[in-house]
Amino acid sequence: MTSVSIMGGSGYVGGELLRLLFAHPECELQIVTSRKYAGEPLYRTHPNLRGITSLRFQKEDLESVAAKSEIVFTALPHGKSLEVVPKLLDYGVKVIDLAADFRLKDAANYKEYYALEHTRADLLESSVYGLPELHRAQIKDANLVSVPGCMATAAILSLTPAIRNGWVDTERIIIDAKIGSSGAGVNPTIASHHSERAGGVRPYMVAGHRHTAEVDQELSSIANKTVHVGFTPHAVNMIRGILSTAHTFMLQTLEPRSVFKGFRAEYENEPFVRLISDKKGLYGLPNPKLTLGTNYCDIGFEIDPHSRRLIIFSAIDNLTKGAAGEAVQCFNIMTNHDEKTGLSMLGIHP
């Protein structure tokens, strides 16, 4: 049994972490912090936990958290993890960070994409990008794991086989991502206001979105050369879920069978990647509706001979495989448990 704590547990990602960890047979939750809700029961902000636990939010006390925890999940705002994580590491605990503060290897990218002067380049070097399908071996022995961004997770997993197999032009990759409102976080803004969001599709940060840097970083590593993707997200009228559509341009004539074999070779041993290739019914391509509340990433594709495109689709729940579920998957790897432990839940239909 591993003792764990959560710092920043009152938001949507913190709530999803709590949902998963209370069902995890190999962890014991010690402390959940929240500056705003200290002293309140967890169900005050996460009503689905009513009757499940008597724990209350506590004030941030790093010494106490470190003393009672072997691993700490930090679900803090961007920039705040940069202050907290180094101190936790100095106390000797392992950290799984769900903010962006340690995802990028180049500190200069933080100034460009986050307007943040990164002060711990040494930790950027040692931090492990927490995408198990690509970095499982490094995650196993890491002291600091940085969980990827939700849209970056969907995009990277969809594009990895195409890049690794040299199928597509790495100078022309366009990613269109559609994301539910929970991706904006728990604090309301005019952009997340129901009357502004419902009934429409709103492009935002159409160039230079923060997750672009993560996608470039990981795909460049796979390609062994610099890759720059075009990435544009859209806010759509759903609460949870991401559908990523990657438009790539083939360097050779590809047949569906060979593409499917390439994807299968990449992911056949991955417990949370499902390949969708079905010409019948409504769900022949990935649909985030079927991933809600699960740690699955569904991937599918179509070939367009007219424009020589290989179009790759991926669907995830942004709060689960896109955040908390991926964090728990990393936790399982770090603690030598089966990766599926606490994550075997199925989606719902309809």
What digits encode the pLDDT tens for the residues 41-81? Answer: 999 999 999 999 999 999 999 999 999 999 999 999 999 99
Q: Tell me if residue 297 is catalytic.
A: no
Is 191 a residue whose pLDDT tops 90? no
Q: Give pLDDT, residue 102.
A: 98
| Residues 325-346: tens digit of each pLDDT | 999 999 999 999 999 999 999 9
Q: Among residues 19, 41, 112, which one has the least CA distance to residue 327?
A: 19
Return the residue matching tokens 């995890």.
Answer: 24
pTM here? Answer: 0.97
Catalytic residue among 27, 150, 297, 330: 150
Question: For residue 103, how far is the Cα from the chain centroid?
Answer: 11
Q: Give pLDDT, residue 108.
A: 96
Q: Among residues 69, 85, 1, 2, which one has the least CA distance to residue 32?
A: 69
Q: Give pLDDT, residue 281.
A: 87
Q: Give pLDDT, residue 322.
A: 98
Domains of the chain: 2-148+321-334 (3.40.50.720), 151-318 (3.30.360.10)
Strands (E), the chain: 2-7, 27-33, 71-74, 94-97, 128-129, 144-146, 168-179, 202-203, 230-235, 242-250, 273-275, 297-304, 309-316
Q: What is the dihedral of CA 295, 325, 131, 116, to 10 degrees?
A: 130
Residue 2: band (very low, low, confident or very high) from pLDDT cuts 50, 70, 90: very high
**CA 125, CA 155: separation in Å to the nearest integer?**
23
**CA 281, CA 54: separation in Å to the nearest integer?**
45
| Residues 268-304: tens digit of each pLDDT | 999 999 999 888 889 999 999 999 999 999 999 999 9
Q: Give pLDDT, residue 65.
A: 98
